[in-house]
Amino acid sequence: MLAFSELPQLLKIPVFIEHFQEHQQRDPGTTVWGFIAEHYQGKFVVDDDYQRDMQLPFRTTNVVLNTTVIIAPPVPIEIPVTLHSSETEFTHSNDSRIPFTNIRDIFQPPRISS
């Protein structure tokens, strides 16, 4: 399980703490945020402790791709077809007295009054 996740990076946390203490011995004003910014933000600087920097957690990654392809044989699916018929009688009213029955009565172009 550890091989297919980033959990082994957490095992490197003691290296992070030791390396931070090394930086504090060289420069007592080093803060945790400054240390993180120096080692994790922007471009990686190749300096005298570059090899030690690369031992820090989440500086490198191991890409492992495990792919399994299974080709299943096609399975026929039968869907029963049922036809329903119904007889419904509709009444159509074409009474011009009913409002909005004639669409021309609704939309009229603007008129210019003289």
Predicted confidence (pLDDT) per residue in 58-97, tens digit? 888 777 677 888 999 999 999 888 888 888 777 766 665 5
Quick check: is 26 in a domain?
yes
Q: Output the pLDDT for position 13.
A: 92
Give yes or no for a contact between 4 and 66, defined as CB atoms under 8 angstroms apart.
yes
Quick check: is 39 in a domain?
yes
Quickly state the pLDDT bin for 113 (edges 50, 70, 90).
Answer: confident
Quick check: is 86 in a domain?
no
Residue numbers of the domain that contains 18? 2-53
The structure's pTM equals 0.50
Quick check: is 14 in a domain?
yes
Q: How far is CA 11 from CA 20, 39, 58, 92, 111, in A?
A: 16, 18, 11, 80, 83
| Domain count for the chain | 1
Quick check: is 32 in a domain?
yes
Quick check: is 72 in a domain?
no
